[in-house]
Amino acid sequence: MAKPHVLVIPYPAQGHVMPTMELAQRLVGKGVKVTFVNTEVTHKLVIGNGLDQDGFGGLMKMVWIPDGLEPWEDRTDLCKLTISLLESMADKLEELIEKINEEDGSKVSCVIADDSMGWAIRVAKKMGIRRAAFWPASVATLASMFSFQKLIDDGVMDNDGMPLQDQTIRLSETMPPLRSTNLAWTCFEDSGTAKAFFRLVVEAVEAARLTEWFICNSATELEPAAFSLYPQLVPIGPLLASNRLANQTGHFWQEDSTCLAWLDQQPASSVIYIAFGSFTIINQTQFEELALGLELCNRPFLWVVRPGMTKETTYADGYIERVGSRGRIVSWAPQQKVLAHPSVACFVSHCGWNSTLEGVTHGRPFLCWPYFADQFYNEDYICDIWKTGLRLKKDETGIVRGGEIRSKVEEVLSNKKYATNAFDMKEKVTGSIREHGRSHKNLGDFIEWIHEKDTNQCQEST
């Protein structure tokens, strides 16, 4: 009997591709054939960073379709990219599926799409293919998206999704408050980008109604109130490579694994780990203050300075010599292995959902430095709900000063409640992904559904 053939398509951003790739590998591990669809630019980045396609036993094929932009256009222009995704990719996906069905010998039986690519779910429905949505970020963020019409009706924002004023809102009494200017689509300074993202939100909410499953990279233990608000959402996470004792795939940049040997030389629970994900950009003043803060802490630190994080990476005179072997600076790190290392004491993070899950799963206290989108709400959960970290406060000029960094590092490491709470969250969340845990069972049920539906289709066609 032919294996079920699932087409999987993520939103073209690092924080979306990696958990979607992890989901695809879980499917492959259970005998499901997967066609993984990226945009051309993302495909080249992922393939160019050591992805071993032979490691999938012939069950996963990596392909691409164009994102609608010209080769020379800037993919970091989120306004232009988002509009292009919404307006140009559906036809290309339909053509790809038709080609697969004609040439592959194994027709696509199900489409699993990142809900941020809601148009892909519409394509699947049009073609009579079974469909599921996958949400790689927090369910609290998804709940805010699902609430957009109520926010309009309540006068919180206009029909373009723009807040009418800066005010505090609550999605439910048991969820933390949220500023109207910190919604995933309202935190952009450029109104064009904000409106483009709101178009994506509307599309995502409409597409969610067309799905048979809506699976989420989260756990009930992390966000019980959000899951209670929308019981149709099914937790299957955290989806991390460490859950299956494997290397992480889907990176856009080459990992520098030499930092692991450096970590081996550091005392237990001594190292400050600093990483701000794939999108965060800081100016030179902030960069210098961060460097100063790490120097003032007088502790070993591992700092990820991603290409493009600053316009030009310039350290103060003598800085590298002063911090010496106490500081290790890399361009990209094997983050799960870093956070699992016993020498790491705390995580200075932008609070992207993947980083948040990785920090929680390895029991690390946080220092929170959100940049945009869902990261502000993730910070609220870390600091106010789970109580596993502290906020870094900006001064009146919008800069987090070196003294603030030193002060908060000392506070989070000297007050044992943060480490205790972090350990407790780790135990709860890892319990969910172990055998008999809720997320583990849900993922098993979902994969079983894929197999069952494919079998039913085979029987119906004979």
Contacts of 102 (CB under 8 A, 6+ apart): none
Q: What is the pLDDT along the chain (462 residues), one digit of tens a residue?
A: 678 999 999 999 888 999 999 999 999 999 999 999 999 988 988 887 767 666 677 789 999 999 888 888 888 888 898 899 889 999 999 999 999 999 877 899 999 999 999 999 999 999 999 999 999 999 999 999 999 999 999 999 999 999 999 999 999 888 999 999 889 888 877 888 889 999 999 999 999 999 999 999 999 999 999 999 999 999 999 998 777 666 777 767 778 889 999 999 999 999 999 999 887 888 899 999 999 999 999 999 999 998 888 877 778 788 888 888 899 999 989 999 999 999 999 999 999 999 999 999 999 999 999 988 889 999 999 999 999 999 999 999 999 999 999 999 999 999 999 999 999 999 999 999 999 999 999 999 999 999 986 544 543 433
Superfamily of domain 5-246+434-461: Glycogen Phosphorylase B; (3.40.50.2000)
pLDDT of residue 378: 95
- 3-class DSSP assignment, residue 155: coil
Fold match between domain 5-246+434-461 and domain 258-414:
yes
Cross-strand partners of 6: 34, 110
Amino acid letter, 232: Q
Q: How far apart are CA 298 and CA 413, in angstroms?
A: 13
Tell me the backbone φ, ψ of residue 235, rounded to 5 degrees.
-75, 130
Q: What is the number of helices (H) and of strands (E) in the chain?
A: 17, 15
How far apart are alpha carbons 108 and 4 in whole angstroms?
Answer: 8
Exposed, middle or buried by CB within 10 Å (0-12, 13-18, 19+), for 261?
exposed
Q: Name the residue with tokens 């009997």.
A: 1
Domain ranges of the chain: 5-246+434-461, 258-414
φ/ψ of residue 279, rounded to 5: -115, -30
Q: How many angstroms separate the Cα of 304 from the Cα of each of 43, 204, 310, 407? A: 23, 33, 12, 21
Q: Find all residues with CB under 8 Å of 77, minimum gap 6, and list them.
A: none
C-alpha span between 206 and 200 (Å, rounded): 10
Q: Specify the residue for token string 């699902």.
A: 146
> Could you say which of 3.30.70.660, 3.40.50.2000, 3.60.20.10, 3.30.2010.10 is the CATH number of the domain covering 258-414?
3.40.50.2000
Q: Provide the pLDDT for residue 460.
A: 40
Cβ neighbours of residue 153 under 8 Å, at least 6 residues apart?
Answer: none
Query: Are 79 and 64 a contacting pair, CB within 8 Å?
Result: no
Distance of alpha carbon 191 from alpha carbon 377, whole angstroms: 20
Of 193, 119, 188, 186, the closest CA to residue 148 belongs to 186
Instruction: Give the gyration radius of the chain's Cα atoms.
Output: 22
Q: How far apart are the first and last CA of the chain?
A: 12
Residue 284 is encoded by which pair of tokens? 């030179």
